[in-house]
Amino acid sequence: MNIKLACTIALFAGCGGLNLDEQGPGNNDTGGISLDALDIAVSPDGRYIIASHTDHLTIERADSCSERTIQMADPERLAFSNDGNSIYVTSQGLSSNLIAIDLNSGLTRFVHPLLENNFRWEGDSIVPTPDILPTSDGNIVLAYSKNIELISATSGATILVHDTENAISDATLSVDGKFALLTLQHSFFITNPTTIIERVALATGITKSISVPNCDSKLAQSPDGRYGFLSPDGCEVDPISVIDLQNGVFLRNLPGFGPVGIGAGATAVAYVDSANFNSALAPTGTQTPDPRRGRYDLMLLDTTQLSWRMVPIGNSLPRYALTPDGNSVIIDSDDLNPGPLRIVNIASGIETTVSGDDVTLNNFVITPDSHEIYLIAEQLYALDIAGARVQPVSLPYTPVSINISLDGSKLYIRDTSNLIHELDPVSKITGCTSRLL
């Protein structure tokens, strides 16, 4: 499901919940990286930078600035292997294929024909682009509209095909890599939605179906893989559903909205709307919102105890990003009048308003040490998280998109001329400049 499309239609003024615009090395989305937005892809180990055009991919080695062009008709989606040595690309061309490419040599390792007549929603149109999910044991799961296919990452041979009754809304892998978790599109009985989550064992194909009384959404998992959280924002009533993924059972619905964000720690982040709070879902003795403090509260959910704390955050529909260390939540809003950025310390619940220019996090990266955020809002800005201050960074070109190296020592910035600039964020020294597109 396209979360942004659903919430924009529903709210028109903006979209709350987890911020989906963060960039970084590796497969930012569990289904791979969409290539239609001309974004910059960085391999998980930081060795390669990849950009696409209508008829080719360009691959640059980050350490030497050397480039290689690979001809390919209409590349659409890309995923990196877990070891960073290969990429898997869907290409429409003359026929729909998944192409495996060795990044070291540039050679094609195999070409796997995609299953025909299996389409997925992408934005407001249907395109034949399956999600690409590299598994921990080196294989690949392809998630189509109503089935998944497990193929060998060595030969491209099909190992397993699993069909679903309803269309797949979201596909991801369990934390331990043993299962494919398929969230199917919800159905309604009168006014009550039901979503089926299928837990498919990749070794055997044995499937456990979990019925959840909620609309479908992207599935978030606790760091230990024990719990899953389903939290739509395009349904009339949007509780947070808690699923026991290990035993394959629905536990309960909690009040609140998502999408849920989960960082490195045991805290999940959602939000509560006091104007639409279902107190019947709040266990006795738990904290409830006080509308006198503002309409919205940040909900800090302990994923081990399933208890929560609330932090009042005002009347703007909140959107949030978590720092890699799990210590801070950066809040903005894509309402018409978003106001300044805010930072909430997860341990203390203390909120700090960011000084400097008012910007939104629509195109950004967070450094691995959680010290800075670099974002593009017509120009490049740097946000010092500890100092809670954002300020512009002067560049001799107009930036369009951004990514970051694995260690955070380099920013990769694409400009309006489709040049990719390598920038040291501390010294502001420019390294390689390449025409990757």
Per-residue pLDDT band for 126 (boundaries 50, 70, 90) equals low
Is 269 within 8 Å of 260 (Cβ atoms)?
yes
For 422, how many CA atoms within 13 A lie in the half-sphere containing its CB? Answer: 20
The pLDDT > 70 percentage for the chain reads: 89
Query: Taking 80 as the threshold, does the pLDDT of residue 102 lie above it?
Result: yes
Distance of CA 6 to the CA centre of its chain: 16
Quote the pLDDT of residue 346. 93
Tens of pLDDT, residues 88-100:
998 876 568 899 9
By the 10 Å C-beta count (0-12 exposed, 13-18 middle, 19+ buried), 253 is classed as buried
Quote the pLDDT of residue 154. 93
Greatest alpha-carbon pair distance for the chain in Å reads: 62
Per-residue pLDDT band for 74 (boundaries 50, 70, 90) equals confident
CA distance 82 to 9: 36
Dihedral of alpha carbons 3, 6, 11, 12, sign = positive
Quote the pLDDT of residue 120. 60
Mean pLDDT along residues 348-357: 94
Which sequence spans correspond to the domains of the chain?
31-148
Quote the pLDDT of residue 429. 76
Residue for token pair 């960011």: 354
Closest of 64, 19, 55, 57 to residue 39, by C-alpha: 57
By the 10 Å C-beta count (0-12 exposed, 13-18 middle, 19+ buried), 346 is classed as buried
Q: What is the DSSP string of 132-191?
A: EEE-TTS-EEEE-SSEEEEE-TTT--EEEEEE-SSPEEEEEE-TTSSEEEEEEPPEEETT
Closest of 10, 14, 23, 30 to residue 219, by C-alpha: 30
Query: Taking 60 as the threshold, does the pLDDT of residue 436 lie above it?
Result: no
* Phi and psi based region of residue 138 (left: phi greater than 0; alpha: psi -120 to 50; beta: remaining): left
340 upstream amide cis, omega within 30 of 0: no
CA distances from 133 to 118, 217, 239, 265, 373 (A): 17, 18, 28, 24, 28
Quote the pLDDT of residue 33. 86
Quote the pLDDT of residue 426. 86
Dihedral of alpha carbons 149, 152, 155, 157, sign = negative
Query: Taking 90 as the threshold, does the pLDDT of residue 151 lie above it?
Result: yes
Dihedral of alpha carbons 238, 244, 245, 249, sign = negative
Tens of pLDDT, residues 355-367:
999 999 999 999 9
By the 10 Å C-beta count (0-12 exposed, 13-18 middle, 19+ buried), 236 is classed as exposed
Quote the pLDDT of residue 264. 78
Quote the pLDDT of residue 8. 39
More confident residue, 127 or 327: 327
Mean pLDDT along residues 282-294: 85
Per-residue pLDDT band for 219 (boundaries 50, 70, 90) equals very high
Quote the pLDDT of residue 1. 31
* Angle 250-251-252 from CA coordinates, rounded to 5°: 110
Buried b (16+ CB within 10 A) or exposed e, 3-32: bbebbeeeeeebbbbbbbebbbbbbbebbb
Give pTM, 2 decimals: 0.90
Tens of pLDDT, residues 367-426:
999 999 999 998 999 999 999 999 999 999 999 999 999 999 999 998 988 888 999 988
CATH T-level assignment (fold) for domain 31-148? Methylamine Dehydrogenase; Chain H (2.130.10)
CA distance 390 to 369: 17
Quote the pLDDT of residue 228. 96
CA distance 381 to 373: 8
Quote the pLDDT of residue 367. 96
Per-residue pLDDT band for 300 (boundaries 50, 70, 90) equals very high
Mean pLDDT along residues 156-171: 94
Tens of pLDDT, residues 8-21:
333 334 567 888 88
More confident residue, 109 or 82: 109
Quote the pLDDT of residue 121. 58
Buried b (16+ CB within 10 A) or exposed e, 81-100: bbebbbbbbbbbeeebbbbb
201-210, 234-243, 338-347, 406-415: which has the minimum mean pLDDT?
234-243
Give the chain's mean pLDDT.
87
